């Protein structure tokens, strides 16, 4: 859990929720059926090529647009290990953490990597790639608790709170 | 130290004297709104993942079917059935086919000073009445539904001082598209956009709705227009009263203050595939259109329908264009019927549809095909937003959309 490495898929700025999962596929029964259409308006081939443990690296404002929670859920179901972007849209950020999907904000990495590169992430510490090392601003403890549990609902169950 | 409107609402919801940006507070939520985009996911989690399912206060919940209404296939019908039955079982306020969720909230629920969460990104609209509305996902919704609370990190506030008067043919829609162009699609990421100044006070609550509704397209947590007696008058007209009208203190801290003189704003059009791409309509060149849409939570109220009717009276929609109109609510629709607006639109060749999200979210009505071009008063123009991934969506005011529907290409109202 403390460190992992993975292969990069490099996407651009303003990757919106309609690109992550277009409206027309939201009526499918579940995210397993939807995930083959992930990113299809932009890169229809991508979802078929993603392998478990891969990492998405993107520009600014990743996840902008709708509050549809299917967007982070699908990325999680594609077994993307984490998304690293220059910045994230705020509703997506919250939804991703609530689904146990790790997001890392870093303003510089994007400009120093290419698609297919392998990078190493040391949790709440730094990212290591061929182009150098990039520090990670640690996530607050309450968000780490949710991530470690695998999402908000599981965290509540674990915490033995009202949801249990 | 003084507080902004957003900070005062969060402090009240958290039950504390004062708050500062960056602090995390647990807040009581006044209303929780969810529509048929994701309510079924919340219900599934509620029914399968909780050991002791419990709703903190069903009176605070509002379920609204507006995204795919009437249902267009059996899967959607199942989603609606699930919502309908759950709402009935737990005595939750429920609306179906009555209008776009944010318009229903505006007409029937929102009061100034309230803290409201909705499972839809455009929940930021409620600042039109001086409330703090913000969009969340279905898991956050579930948490708030069960506990009656949520957590919020206090955002910084960016203030927009509005002065002057719009020139003829220019509307709040042009202003907010210009602001988003100037600041960028994440220029207000996790900020409150506070609208104030003499020109804001001159605006109707409908016009303030247009501004606050698109705050999320600049990345904002919410938009809030400084409330005044126009809010009181509107609420009175809807048969409700109460709430607290907060103003920012003179020594409140704003991250930044921008000044906009409305007389300098032009009619603009945002180009595909991003909302922050507005250019003056006069610079857009020769752009033929296949479809025009007037409606959505941003721009489907009586004011916009009046603008369209005034332009269309005695004219015809271009033979190569489908002009689709969806009033934002049945109350708007009935008002338009009474004023003879619907007659004018239909005689000109427009298709008038039931009150719903319609073309704006590209699912059940007016979907466009490969290579087609839409000009819309909707909220977004992302790639594939209204249909095929290789279609194009332009965003503009009701006046520009209607003028374009008549001309068959993108055109300012002044050109008609």
What is the C-alpha R_g of chain B?
A: 21
Candidate from B75, B186, B274 with C-beta closest to A27: B75
Q: Are B269 and B284 in contact (CB under 8 A)?
A: yes
Determine if the peptide bond prior to B247 is cis (ω within 30°).
no
Q: Are B416 and B293 in contact (CB under 8 A)?
A: no
Burial of B25 per CB tally in 10 Å (0-12, 13-18, 19+): middle
Residues of A with Cβ-Cβ distance to B387 under 8 angstroms:
24
pLDDT of residue B106: 98
To the nearest whole angstrom, how far is the Cα of A67 from the nearest Cα of chain B?
A: 5
Chain B nearest-CA residue for A17? B382
* B143·A152 Cβ contact <8 A: yes
Token readout for A28 is 């499918």
Residues of B with Cβ-Cβ distance to A18 under 8 angstroms:
380, 382-385
- What is the rounded distance in angstroms from the CA atom of residue A94 to the CA atom of residue A103? 10
DSSP B213-270: HTGGGGT-SEEEEPP-HHHHHHHHHTT----------TTB--SEEEEEEGGG---EEE
Q: Give, in order, the Cα–Cα distances in Å from B73 to each of A28, A97, B76, B363.
A: 11, 32, 6, 11
Average pLDDT, chain B: 97
> Is residue B392 classed as helix, strand or coil in its secondary structure?
strand
CA angle A27, A28, A34 (to 5 degrees): 120
pLDDT of residue B45: 93
pLDDT of residue B153: 93
Residues of A with Cβ-Cβ distance to B219 under 8 angstroms:
61, 64, 89-90
pLDDT of residue A162: 52
pLDDT of residue A164: 43
Tell me the pLDDT tens digit for each residue of B378-408: 999 999 999 999 999 999 999 999 999 999 9
Candidate from B147, B382, B387 with C-beta closest to A19: B382
- Model confidence at B348, pLDDT cuts 50, 70, 90, reads very high
Residues of B with Cβ-Cβ distance to A87 under 8 angstroms:
186, 189
Token readout for B329 is 């609510």
pLDDT of residue A46: 97
Average pLDDT, chain A: 93
Give chain A's domains with CATH numbers.
Answer: 3-136 (3.20.19.10)
Q: Pairing between strand B268-270 and B278-280? A: antiparallel
- What is the rounded distance in angstroms from the CA atom of residue B280 to the CA atom of residue B267? 6
pLDDT of residue B121: 97
Which residue of B186, B277, B368, B380 to mutate against A (max A Cβ within 10 Å)? B186
Beta bridge partners of B363: none
A162 at interface of B, judged by CB pairs closer than 8 A: yes
Tell me the pLDDT tens digit for each residue of B60-92: 999 999 999 999 999 999 999 999 999 999 999
Query: Which are the contacts of B334, defined by CB distance < 8 A and separation ≥ 6?
Result: none
* B135·A152 Cβ contact <8 A: no
Burial of A126 per CB tally in 10 Å (0-12, 13-18, 19+): middle
Token readout for B249 is 């203190």
To the nearest whole angstrom, how far is the Cα of B223 from the nearest Cα of chain A?
A: 14
A127 CB-side CA count, 13 A: 29
A68 at interface of B, judged by CB pairs closer than 8 A: yes
Q: Pairing between strand B322-326 and B24-28? A: unpaired
Residues of B with Cβ-Cβ distance to A61 under 8 angstroms:
185-186, 189, 219
* B219·A42 Cβ contact <8 A: no
Query: Is the pLDDT at A163 greater than 70, yes or no?
Result: no
pLDDT of residue B1: 85
Candidate from A24, A95, A162 with C-beta closest to B146: A162
Query: Which are the contacts of B72, defined by CB distance < 8 A and separation ≥ 6?
Result: B363, B364
Chain B nearest-CA residue for A24? B363
Tell me the pLDDT tens digit for each residue of A30-58: 899 999 999 999 999 999 999 999 999 99
Chain B nearest-CA residue for A40? B389
End-to-end CA distance of chain A: 25
A24 at interface of B, judged by CB pairs closer than 8 A: yes
Query: Is the pLDDT at B101 greater than 70, yes or no?
Result: yes
Q: Pairing between strand B191-196 and B268-270? A: unpaired
> Is residue B286 classed as helix, strand or coil in its secondary structure?
coil
- What is the rounded distance in angstroms from the CA atom of residue B30 to the CA atom of residue B196? 24
Chain B nearest-CA residue for A63? B219
Query: Is the pLDDT at B292 greater than 90, yes or no?
Result: yes
B75 at interface of A, judged by CB pairs closer than 8 A: yes
Chain A nearest-CA residue for B148? A162
Query: Is the pLDDT at B368 greater than 80, yes or no?
Result: yes
pLDDT of residue B391: 97
Tell me the pLDDT tens digit for each residue of B179-231: 999 999 999 999 999 999 999 999 999 999 999 999 999 999 999 999 999 99
Q: Give, in order, the Cα–Cα distances in Å from B375 to each of A125, B184, B380.
A: 47, 21, 11
- What is the rounded distance in angstroms from the CA atom of residue B293 to the CA atom of residue B410? 13
- Model confidence at A160, pLDDT cuts 50, 70, 90, reads low
Helix (H) or strand (E) holding B181: helix B172-183
Mean pLDDT of B256-264: 98
Give chain B's domains with CATH numbers.
Answer: 5-261 (3.30.499.10), 268-415 (3.30.499.10)
* A61·B24 Cβ contact <8 A: no
In this complex, how many residue pairs, one in chain A and one in chain B, have their CB atoms less than 8 Å apart?
A: 124
* A156·B143 Cβ contact <8 A: yes
Token readout for B151 is 């957590």
* B136·A94 Cβ contact <8 A: yes
Query: Which are the contacts of A141, defined by CB distance < 8 A and separation ≥ 6?
Result: none
B143 at interface of A, judged by CB pairs closer than 8 A: yes
Query: Is the pLDDT at B13 greater than 70, yes or no?
Result: yes
Mean pLDDT of B303-310: 98
pLDDT of residue A142: 83
Helix, strand and coil content of chain B, in percent to the nearest 5, comes to 40, 20, 40
B363 at interface of A, judged by CB pairs closer than 8 A: yes
pLDDT over 70 for what percent of chain B? 100
Mean pLDDT of A118-141: 93
- Continuous H helices in B24-163: 39-48, 74-90, 101-108, 138-147
Residues of A with Cβ-Cβ distance to B189 under 8 angstroms:
61, 87, 89-90
- What is the rounded distance in angstroms from the CA atom of residue B31 to the CA atom of residue A91? 18
């Amino acid at each position: 859990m403390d460190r992992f490495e993975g292969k990069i898929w490099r996407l651009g700025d303003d990757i919106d929720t309609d690109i992550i999962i277009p409206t027309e596929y939201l009526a499918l029964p579940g995210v397993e059926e939807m995930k083959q259409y992930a990113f299809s308006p932009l890169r229809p081939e991508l979802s078929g090529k993603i392998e478990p443990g891969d990492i998405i690296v993107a520009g600014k404002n990743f996840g902008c647009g709708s509050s549809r929670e299917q967007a982070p859920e699908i990325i999680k179901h594609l077994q993307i290990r984490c998304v690293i972007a220059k910045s994230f849209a705020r509703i997506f950020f919250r939804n991703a953490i609530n689904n146990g999907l790790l997001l890392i904000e870093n303003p510089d990495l994007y400009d120093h990597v290419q698609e297919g590169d392998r990078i190493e992430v040391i949790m709440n510490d730094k990212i290591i790639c061929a182009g150098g090392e990039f520090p990670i601003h640690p996530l607050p403890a309450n968000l780490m608790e949710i991530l470690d549990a695998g999402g908000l609902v599981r965290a509540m169950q674990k915490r033995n709170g009202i949801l249990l | 130290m003084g507080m902004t409107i957003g900070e005062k609402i969060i402090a009240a919801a958290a039950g504390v004297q004062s708050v500062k940006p960056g602090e995390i507070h647990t807040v009581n939520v006044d209303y929780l709104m969810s529509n048929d985009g994701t309510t079924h996911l919340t219900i599934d989690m509620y029914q399968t993942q909780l050991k002791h399912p419990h709703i903190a206060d069903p009176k605070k919940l509002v379920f609204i079917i507006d995204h795919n209404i009437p249902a267009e296939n059996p899967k959607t019908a199942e989603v609606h059935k699930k919502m309908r039955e759950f709402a009935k079982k737990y005595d939750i306020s429920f609306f179906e086919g009555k209008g776009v969720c944010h318009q229903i909230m505006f007409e029937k629920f929102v009061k100034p000073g309230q803290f409201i969460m909705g499972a839809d990104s455009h929940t930021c609209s409620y600042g039109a009445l001086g409330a703090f509305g913000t969009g969340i996902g279905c898991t956050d919704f579930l948490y708030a539904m069960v506990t009656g609370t949520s957590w919020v990190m206090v955002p910084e506030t960016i203030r927009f001082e509005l002065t002057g008067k719009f020139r003829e043919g220019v509307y709040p829609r042009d202003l907010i598209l210009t602001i988003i162009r100037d600041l960028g699609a994440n220029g207000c990421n996790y900020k409150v956009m506070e609208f104030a100044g003499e020109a804001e006070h001159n605006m109707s609550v409908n016009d303030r709705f247009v501004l606050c509704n698109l705050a999320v397209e600049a990345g904002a947590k919410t938009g809030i227009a400084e409330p005044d007696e126009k809010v009181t008058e509107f609420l009175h007209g809807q048969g409700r009263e109460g709430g607290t009208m907060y103003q920012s203190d003179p020594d409140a801290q704003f991250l930044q203050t921008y000044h906009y003189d409305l007389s300098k704003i032009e009619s603009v059009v945002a180009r595909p595939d991003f909302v922050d791409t507005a250019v003056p309509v006069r610079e857009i060149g020769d752009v033929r259109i296949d479809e025009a849409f007037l409606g959505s939570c941003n721009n489907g109220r009586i004011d916009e329908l009046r603008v369209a009717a005034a332009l269309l009276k005695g004219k015809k929609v271009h033979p190569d264009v489908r002009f689709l109109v969806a009033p934002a609510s049945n109350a708007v629709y009935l008002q338009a019927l009474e004023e003879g607006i619907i007659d004018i639109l239909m005689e000109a060749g427009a298709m008038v549809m039931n009150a719903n999200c319609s073309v704006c979210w590209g699912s059940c009505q007016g979907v466009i095909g490969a290579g087609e071009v839409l000009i819309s008063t909707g909220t977004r123009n992302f790639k594939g937003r209204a249909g095929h991934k290789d279609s194009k969506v332009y965003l503009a005011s009701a006046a520009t959309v209607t003028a374009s529907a008549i001309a068959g290409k993108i055109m300012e109202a002044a050109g008609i």
